[in-house]
Structure 1
């Protein structure tokens, strides 16, 4: 269930999950107000240095960008044809910075720590007799597995390229959907074995 997590002791691992999530959330709000490439460039350098501080294991997670190349290329082409090339560069850099930052939180935060950090957001549900832990678990799973699914798509694309000689195809959608459903079944079985959202613990 937690294959994305990087088993390592580092200063990033020791930071509270709530602080890391809050930092990414605030950075997202600020960066969506920025349109200058020269602002995103130092942000990208900082994120890459954070990955480098984790050693080879951290740098290996930068392969996540491979699964995004086709999407980013299409996005840049659309901006090129519309005459807003530099705006497209800014959009791409914003996406790369935020996705890498979110993935950095995933690989340096245990799932139960992330769950405990998200759960206070849903505590008002308890006033109505509803569980705050279940929706918190749903959000945590999305945060945890979004980077993992990008890695899965990247592996499928590499396998297809090795066989067909082309980088991408709509034919990847079917095996990607199958892998997604298979993973969701495995996660559901693992959660059930642990007693559901209430049984998930360190």
Structure 2
């Protein structure tokens, strides 16, 4: 899941979060069970159609957020080109883009509070057994919330590097990126402690 924001309101915003997450699980399992290249092309086209249905602004916003996948796609393409299995590489690449695209579509049209509500419902049996589920719920919320924020900070660091140097940033931004992540984690920990902790 990459994004938590949608530039436009869609009909999918009114659907129940549990239904959307359940459909996402089924679709992901179907993608991993399918081995046909033609089937994956059709699934990819269907994913693009879902993004295009609400309009051009929604489509461009969703596709922009999928650009973070290009390093993984490059590695997959290079490996399968070297091993002489381009067909298998195409299947894996299409599966990756389609699965992440569908997950991103769900997060773009679902409020974080609704997702946490689904997690709370799923964790109800654990609470009845006397197991505290608040850390799990909070952990999932933090992962969902901070993944796009960290991606945005990484993009900002890359742009700052390009503004100051003609060389590619590559591995050189890893250290400042890690420090930014640690700093954010410390601020979140302090905020949690100030509110009573877990």
TM range (shorter): 0.7 to 0.9
Q: Name the residue aligned to 1:200.
A: none
Q: Distance in 1 between matches of 2:190 and 2:63?
A: 30
Q: Name the residue aligned to 2:38.
A: 38
Q: Distance in 2 between matches of 1:146 and 1:191?
A: 19
Any idea what SS the aligned residue of 1:91 has? helix
Deviation at 1:40, TM superposition (A): 1.5
Determine if contact 1:64/1:154 at 8 Å carries over to the other structure: no
Q: Name the residue aligned to 1:141.
A: 142
Deviation at 1:93, TM superposition (A): 0.8
Stretches of structure 2 that go unaligned for 5 or more consecutive residues are none
CA gap 1:28/1:143 in 2 versus in 1, 3 angstroms: farther
TM-score by length of 1: 0.80
Superposition pairs for residues 1-202 of structure 1, below 5 Å?
4-6=4-6, 8-52=8-52, 53=54, 55-165=56-166, 169-188=170-189
TM-score by length of 2: 0.82
Deviations along 1:5-48, one digit per CA (max 9) or x if unpaired, are 22643211111110111111111111111122211222222222
Q: Distance in 2 between matches of 1:101 and 1:33?
A: 16
> Could you tell which deviates more after superposition, 45-54 or 179-188?
179-188
Q: Distance in 1 between matches of 2:62 and 2:191?
A: 25
